Amino acid sequence: MKDFGTYKCRLTINQQSEEVTCAIGSELLDFTTSRGRRSLNFADLLDFRLINYHLFLITASGELELSELGHDTESFFENLWNAYMERSKEALFVESEPLYSGEGDYTFTEQGVKQHGIAKVELLEDALCLCPHDHFARRIPLCFTREPVEEDFGISLTLDTGDSYRFCRIGRDTRAVFEKICKARDNVSKRWRQAHQALDNQLEERLGERKHSFEQMRDCGCTMITGLYRLDSDGFWFAGLKDGKAAVELVTQEQTATYLYHYDNGNQQFEYSLRHAMESVGLHREVIYMDLSDKPLYQMTVDRSYHLRFLRKHNHKRIIHNASWDKNLADFFL
């Protein structure tokens, strides 16, 4: 586990205070006292704020206060932010090195809900990553964005969903960063379109043994859609949508089930969430359907993507590929 520093301070919880040694790890805060140890996993950390040299750690179950850090206060805050950012990036499945790194003000609006603050900003080859010191970190996929806009010393991105993201006050190099974003976005968008065109042109061949599943969904009267995970991935998915129901098939080298969904928001909303969720998780498709109670990293993943939450909320069940598969699928779409 990577160490981001160890500090002496005072920990206060529910008006009970004691001296502690606090180690900032790559996954959690570890507190050691004269009475023992306790930890705070970053999956449970919703926000942390520095007010008058007191650091407040906000969780779903309450608030922790750290004080008496002295001259190490700013260092502790910055190292905690860096550790939390690295863990958030891990949860967002960010693997490439940034083309740009900075810090500035941000505002985003998702499904009509607005959020703002200060964030560390990284431009990746396929996305823009915002990491504030709370649980609103976002990986913004460039393949789904419209043309970036530069105005009033800020840069704005709007997705095909209508969600919008803006950051500003990043220093004197706003124009240079904007040009880098435009270049990366143009490159990714072109490759994304070409890859999907190739999938459409080679669909029958690439379906292989799943051709039967595809045809069965289509014969149930479904509207059929297909899509890739991230670029440079051999796997893809297809889905049949009909009257507020969907069946989703993952085409990989592994044997997978067919995932069934009920939804009320119309086919377009489901398709948006499916495409965004599949692109966001890449090779980590288990985060879409598995029990995450003992997987704090994946809990952070879901917390940072409303598309994943939408799919998980509307998942009905899954059906295994066996002798009953055809009947089970037909019964579902009746």
pLDDT in tens, 165-191: 999 998 778 999 999 999 999 999 999
What tokens were used for 148? 């970036």
What tokens were used for 61? 């179950």
Q: What does 179-210 look like in DSSP terms, one character per residue?
A: HHHHHHHHHHHHHHHHHHHHHHHTHHHHHGGG
Mean pLDDT of 27-48: 96
Query: Residue 252: what pLDDT?
Result: 83
Grade residue 197 by pLDDT with cuts at 50, 70 and 90: very high
Report the b/e string of 296-305 with b at 16+ CB within 10 A. bbbbbbbbbb
Mean pLDDT of 13-35: 95
What tokens were used for 291? 């029990």
Higher pLDDT, 234 or 127: 127
Per-residue pLDDT at 1 exceeds 60: no
E strands within the chain?
3-13, 16-25, 28-33, 36-41, 45-51, 54-59, 62-67, 100-110, 113-123, 127-132, 138-141, 149-151, 154-158, 164-168, 223-228, 236-242, 245-251, 258-262, 315-319
Mean pLDDT of 99-128: 96
Query: Residue 318: what pLDDT?
Result: 93
Query: Residue 212: what pLDDT?
Result: 96
CATH 2.40.50.140 fits 100-198, yes or no: no
Grade residue 22 by pLDDT with cuts at 50, 70 and 90: very high
The CA distance from 133 to 184, in Å, is 26
Residues facing residue 13 across a β-bridge: 16, 64
Per-residue pLDDT at 74 exceeds 90: yes
Tell me the C-alpha to C-alpha distance, in Å, between residue 201 and each of 128, 197, 226, 275.
30, 6, 12, 19
The CA distance from 77 to 50, in Å, is 7
Query: Residue 234: what pLDDT?
Result: 79
- Tell me whether residue 53 is exposed, middle or buried, using C-beta atoms within 10 angstroms of its C-beta: 0 to 12, 13 to 18, 19 or more: middle
CB 94 within 8 A of CB 116: no
CB 131 within 8 A of CB 87: no
Measured over the CA atoms of residue 301, residue 303, residue 306 and residue 307, the dihedral's sign is positive
pTM of the model: 0.94
Query: Residue 261: what pLDDT?
Result: 97
pLDDT digits (tens, 9 = 90+) for 289-324: 899 999 999 999 999 999 999 999 999 999 999 999
| Closest to 305 measured CA to CA, from 284, 327, 329, 333 | 284
Residue with tokens 């220093």: 171
Report the b/e string of 189-203 with b at 16+ CB within 10 A. beebeebeeeeeeee
Grade residue 267 by pLDDT with cuts at 50, 70 and 90: confident
Query: What is the average pLDDT score of the chain?
Result: 95
Structure letter (DSSP) for residue 134: B
Query: Residue 8: what pLDDT?
Result: 97
The CA distance from 95 to 280, in Å, is 12
First and final C-alpha spacing in the chain: 51
CB 65 within 8 A of CB 54: yes
Q: 3-89 — its CATH code?
A: 2.30.29.30
Per-residue pLDDT at 92 exceeds 80: yes
CB 246 within 8 A of CB 265: no
Query: Residue 231: what pLDDT?
Result: 86
User: If DSSP states are collapsed to H, E and C, what string results for 241-253?
Assistant: EECCEEEEEEECC
CATH code 2.30.29.30 region(s) in the chain: 3-89, 100-198
CB 120 within 8 A of CB 85: yes
Q: Which of 19-23, 167-171, 173-177, 251-255 is least confident?
A: 251-255
Q: Which residues contact 179 (CB under 8 A, 6 or more apart)?
A: none
Query: Residue 266: what pLDDT?
Result: 81
